[in-house]
């Protein structure tokens, strides 16, 4: 199948045309295009120096809130209150930390300055969210992603102290349960998320969950305040 080259028009080909997950190349990171992409089951993923690439993988990795695995050691960290957990307190700092944190097996980062600017813009518009973990007043870990309807599309997470990103993920899952989010999109498989209970599903199934999630009505407090006990 061909890889589609995007134009200035804000449009994408159907996701079933993706070849090995890669659907299209080109375009830009305008808010309108990004929101259309996520609402269509598509996300950008590319490295600096590469053209802008758009993906819709099959299978797709998701986290269903009831499937989250909270190990005993993580429960102890949460119970002890090792980290202060906040919502949307430091989005620019979280995405910068996700960009700059070294990862095993990865040379460099896919979160380019262009991506940072685009997602900070989405945050200011009320679509991109972050969860932060603090230790002694310093940012120790966190995650960020896009919120549309009843869907959360996870983009990246980081940890500067052991368990910090896991605590952030626990807070996201607890929020999903409290607010009525049916699933969390994790995009592509990785061992860390799989160890926490994420699973791969067929793209066709994912698109059904996406459609239902976009139409879901959330609790009024969604993305305004974390649930009690987080």
CB atoms within 10 A of CB 169: 28
pLDDT score, position 48: 86
pLDDT on residue 153: 98
Kindly write down the DSSP assignment for every residue of 52-93, as one continuous string.
Answer: PEEE--SSEEEE-GGG----HHHHHHHHHT-SEEEESS-HHH
Same domain, 49 and 71: no
Which pLDDT score is estimated for 62?
Answer: 98
Which residues of the chain fall below pLDDT 70? 1, 102-109
Assess whether 22 and 122 both reside in one domain: no
Per-residue confidence (pLDDT) for residue 117, from 0 to 100: 97
Which domain CATH number covers 156? 3.40.630.70
If asked whether residues 19 and 97 sit together in one domain, one would say no
Q: Rg for the chain (alpha carbons), in Å?
A: 17
Task: Order the strands of the 4-6 sheet from edge to edge.
Answer: 4-6, 22-26, 53-55, 43-44
Does 157 reside within a domain?
yes
Q: How many structural domains comprise the chain?
A: 2
Are 178 and 88 in a shared domain?
Answer: yes
pLDDT of residue 221: 95
Of 18, 35, 57, at which residue does a domain stop? 57
- pTM of the predicted model, to two decimals? 0.94
pLDDT of residue 105: 47
Q: What is the pLDDT of residue 110?
A: 79
Residue 102 confidence (pLDDT): 59
Mean residue pLDDT of the chain comes to: 94
Tell me what pLDDT residue 200 has.
98
Are both 31 and 53 inside the same structural domain? yes
| pLDDT digit string, tens, across residues 161-196 | 999 999 999 999 999 999 999 999 999 999 999 999
Identify the domain containing residue 77 by its residue range: 61-215
């Amino acid at each position: 199948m061909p890889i589609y080259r995007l134009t200035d028009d804000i449009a994408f080909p159907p996701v079933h045309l993706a070849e090995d997950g890669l659907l299209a190349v080109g375009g830009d990171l305008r808010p309108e295009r990004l929101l259309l992409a996520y609402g269509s089951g598509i996300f950008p993923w590319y490295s600096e120096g590469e053209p802008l690439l758009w993906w819709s993988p099959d299978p797709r990795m998701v986290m269903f809130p009831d499937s989250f695995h909270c190990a005993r050691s993580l429960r102890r960290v949460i119970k002890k209150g090792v980290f202060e957990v906040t919502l949307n307190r430091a989005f620019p700092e979280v995405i910068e930390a996700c960009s700059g944190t070294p990862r095993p097996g990865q040379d460099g980062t896919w979160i380019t300055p262009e991506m940072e600017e685009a997602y900070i813009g989405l945050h200011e518009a009320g679509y991109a969210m972050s969860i932060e973990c603090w230790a002694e007043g310093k940012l120790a870990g966190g995650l960020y992603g896009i919120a549309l309807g009843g869907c959360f599309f996870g983009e990246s997470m980081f940890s500067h102290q052991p368990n910090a990103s896991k605590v952030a993920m626990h807070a996201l899952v607890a929020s999903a349960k409290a607010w009525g989010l049916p699933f969390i999109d994790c995009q592509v498989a990785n061992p860390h998320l799989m160890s926490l209970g994420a699973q791969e599903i067929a793209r066709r199934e994912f698109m059904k969950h996406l459609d239902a999630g976009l139409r879901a009505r959330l609790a009024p407090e969604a993305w305004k305040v974390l649930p009690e006990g987080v």
